[in-house]
Amino acid sequence: MWGGRFAGGPSPLLDAINRSIGTDFRLWPHDVRLSKAWALALGEAGVLTREESDALQQGLDRVAQRIADGAQPVATDEDIHTMIDRLLHEEAGTVASKLHTGRSRNDQVATASRLWTIDACHRVDAAIAELQQSLLMQAETLTDAVLPAYTHLQRAQPVSGTHWLLAHFWPLSRDRTRFANAERGTSVMPLGSGAIAGSAFPVSRVLLKESLGFHAISANSIDATGDRDFVAETLFACAMTAAHCSRLAEDMILYGTSEFGFVKFGDGFSTGSSMMPQKRNPDVFELARGSGARVLGDLVSILGTIKGLPSGYSKDLQDDKRALFNAVDLLLLVLPSMAGAIAELRFEKARMRAACSSAMMATDLADYLVKKGATFREAHGAVGSLVRQAEESGIELDKLPVEAFTAAHALFGTDAREALGVDASLAARNIDGGTGPDAVQRQLTQARASLAPVDPSLGNELALR
């Protein structure tokens, strides 16, 4: 495509480092699609005759069929664009040489990459929704379950099992909003920008935009060919999703240990040990946890690449697809696997409730005093002294004698121990977003509604509907 400028052929080492078709081959449906749109636009602009435009579009259809049927690159195919160009010459003849009129591989690859990324955002969104559906299904079975919530990995307060699982549902909703926003940011068409200065032929970019389904047209040809913000934004959405999957996985791994015993793993998404017959290992969750680091690396690599580039296109950007494809491919493995693993979990409700000791209702006991007229700081100190006495005596807080309560604060009555009940603690927290039974039912309704397709114009308000 560029050999006329040079007296000799390239070094084999250059061919080896420059050849990207092993990575960008998957862009072929999008490259064919944009090439057909370009052939149509050239015809509409009078650059090609109607017959030439039709011949190119029909030839591209035949190229697409050949690739779909298994056509493979040859040694001279530097990238998917040169492969399609070669095949088009075989299918359409010399008119194929006219297709590249007014365009560059710079705006061509930027356009194909954006089309691929738009499709990827939709596929990842569907996979996230599938994981959310599994979480929601399990959450609906845990409305009568209670377990400790943890801060600093220390038992803090009792919460509804539904409330705990939905704490992993809402980050995924935010991820879907991020992918919807990334898709909209990606949907800006660079085609027509040429190499850097814009096409010299009067093609209608509006026609191109409409035929390819973009939301907008790039405003500046220099920016359009060198812009990879859409890759970084999509990778950020991928990295956040992977981080949320990692945190969900960590809870399941931890709660599935014998020490916690809150969760039992199913057969379909667990592995055994080659040595220890008793083992049931949560490999899916461990691999999901590890994937967070890999996707983070992809994000860092693209940010490191683009932060030092001059304006316009540089060959460094060839690596953008390696990072993007790797992150999306990984998520499209992790998300469905986690959805399957979550769906077959069994929760040990009795074990979960038994882990809620009376000391976890210490805040409720302080609230009891506040309702009687004490300040919270005063109540905090009184209850803290009771907790210390229970620890020193080796008994639960609710097993302290009545005298201990009245000695700690004069406002404690004979009903003080009632504040140390798990169900009473939950029932007191029916504030929106809280773990009370009524609040949790409202939250379930919100969760079901949020599984509708994400409208990016709603932004973060989606999670509040």
Which one of the listed residues 11, 97, 273, 393 is annotated catalytic?
273
Which one of the listed residues 152, 258, 274, 457 is annotated catalytic?
152
The predicted pLDDT at position 21 comes to 83
Taking residue 253's Cβ as centre, other Cβ atoms within 10 Å add up to 18
What the chain holds in terms of domains, given with CATH numbers, is 3-101 (1.10.275.10), 114-201+220-354+445-464 (1.20.200.10), 358-428 (1.10.40.30)
The predicted pLDDT at position 465 comes to 33
DSSP 281: B
Q: Is 380 considered catalytic here? A: no
**Torsion angles phi and psi, residue 208, rounded to 5:** -60, -45
Written as tens digits, the pLDDT of the chain (465 aa) is 555 555 556 767 766 666 688 889 999 999 999 999 999 999 999 999 999 999 999 999 999 999 999 999 999 899 999 999 999 999 999 999 999 999 999 999 999 999 999 999 999 999 999 999 999 999 999 999 999 999 999 999 999 999 999 999 999 999 999 999 999 999 999 999 999 999 999 999 999 999 999 999 999 999 999 999 999 999 999 999 999 999 999 999 999 999 999 999 998 888 887 788 778 888 999 999 999 999 999 999 999 999 989 999 888 888 899 999 999 999 999 999 999 999 999 999 999 999 999 999 999 999 999 999 999 999 999 999 999 999 999 999 999 999 999 999 999 998 998 889 999 999 999 999 999 999 999 999 999 999 976 565 555 444 433
Pick from 295, 293, 304, 283: which is nearest to 328 by CA? 295
Taking residue 427's Cβ as centre, other Cβ atoms within 10 Å add up to 13
The β-bridge relationship of strands 346-347 and 216-217 is unpaired
Q: Are 201 and 194 in contact (CB under 8 A)?
A: no
What is the residue whose two structure tokens read 């509804």?
160
**Torsion angles phi and psi, residue 205, rounded to 5:** -70, -25
Pick from 460, 462, 434: which is nearest to 446 by CA? 462
The predicted pLDDT at position 276 comes to 83
Pick from 340, 324, 236: which is nearest to 288 by CA? 340
Give the tens place of pLDDT for each residue, 71-89.
Answer: 999 998 999 999 999 999 9
**Torsion angles phi and psi, residue 227, rounded to 5:** -75, 125
Q: Is 168 considered catalytic here? A: no
Separation CA 312–CA 251 (nearest Å): 45
pTM of the model: 0.91
Separation CA 32–CA 81 (nearest Å): 9
Residue 217 belongs to what H/E stretch?
Answer: strand 216-217
Separation CA 34–CA 355 (nearest Å): 60
The predicted pLDDT at position 464 comes to 38
Separation CA 378–CA 84 (nearest Å): 77
The predicted pLDDT at position 455 comes to 62
Separation CA 465–CA 461 (nearest Å): 7
The predicted pLDDT at position 161 comes to 98
Separation CA 24–CA 333 (nearest Å): 20
